[in-house]
Amino acid sequence: MSGQATMAADRTSRRVPEVMVRITGRQHGGGHVMANFAYISRLGHGSDEELGLETSEGVMLRDGRDMQILATDWHSFEMDGDARRKGATSISMILSMPTGTDPERLKAAALDFAREEFANRSWVAGLHVDR
């Protein structure tokens, strides 16, 4: 058995929770990106329900205007001259762990994952805690 397989078997035997990563959609254009930001952040659901979005630069976006500016920036980058991108402006994904996982540990792990896997890209992250 390989080293990775041995480590995976060890984690399984100790019942270490595994994270599930799922691609949930692809957004095309600034308007679609903004709609996704609003969905993730629960924008418009009232201040007690709304969530901030943390950017790859460590900035917390809490209002629709700031989200709109970022969505426009992403769209402008996509449409920029000779570097015009093909495909989605952004891709959304969910990282989830079993019920009972400490939300702050999940958030820290998700942000570490994003910083490592998307080091040369812009991204936002929001934490949803099921109640």
User: What's the number of domains the chain is made of?
Assistant: 1
Identify which has the larger pLDDT, 83 or 41. 41
What is the percentage of the chain residues whose pLDDT exceeds 70? Answer: 82
In the DSSP assignment, the letter for residue 83 is G
Residue 12 within any structural domain of the chain:
no
Residue 23 within any structural domain of the chain:
yes
pLDDT value of position 16: 59
Domain ranges, residue 57? 18-121
Residue 128 within any structural domain of the chain:
no
Residue 70 within any structural domain of the chain:
yes
pLDDT value of position 119: 92
As a whole number of angstroms, the distance between CA 88 and CA 32 comes to 10
Residue 22 within any structural domain of the chain:
yes
pLDDT value of position 80: 78
As a whole number of angstroms, the distance between CA 54 and CA 35 comes to 16
Q: Which two tokens stand for residue 34?
A: 């903004």
Residue 116 within any structural domain of the chain:
yes
C-alpha dihedral over 101, 56, 51, 110, to 10 degrees? Answer: -10
Identify which has the larger pLDDT, 130 or 63. 63
pLDDT value of position 77: 84
Residue 8 within any structural domain of the chain:
no
Q: What is the pLDDT of residues 59-116, one digit of tens each?
A: 999 999 999 999 999 888 877 765 556 778 888 888 887 888 888 888 898 899 899 9
Phi-psi region of 2 (alpha: psi -120 to 50; beta: other; left: phi over 0): beta
Band of pLDDT at residue 55, cut at 50, 70 and 90: very high
pLDDT at 13 over 90: no
Nearest alpha-carbon partner for 37 in 59, 75, 68: 68
As a whole number of angstroms, the distance between CA 14 and CA 1 comes to 18
**pTM attached to this predicted model:** 0.75
Residue 6 within any structural domain of the chain:
no
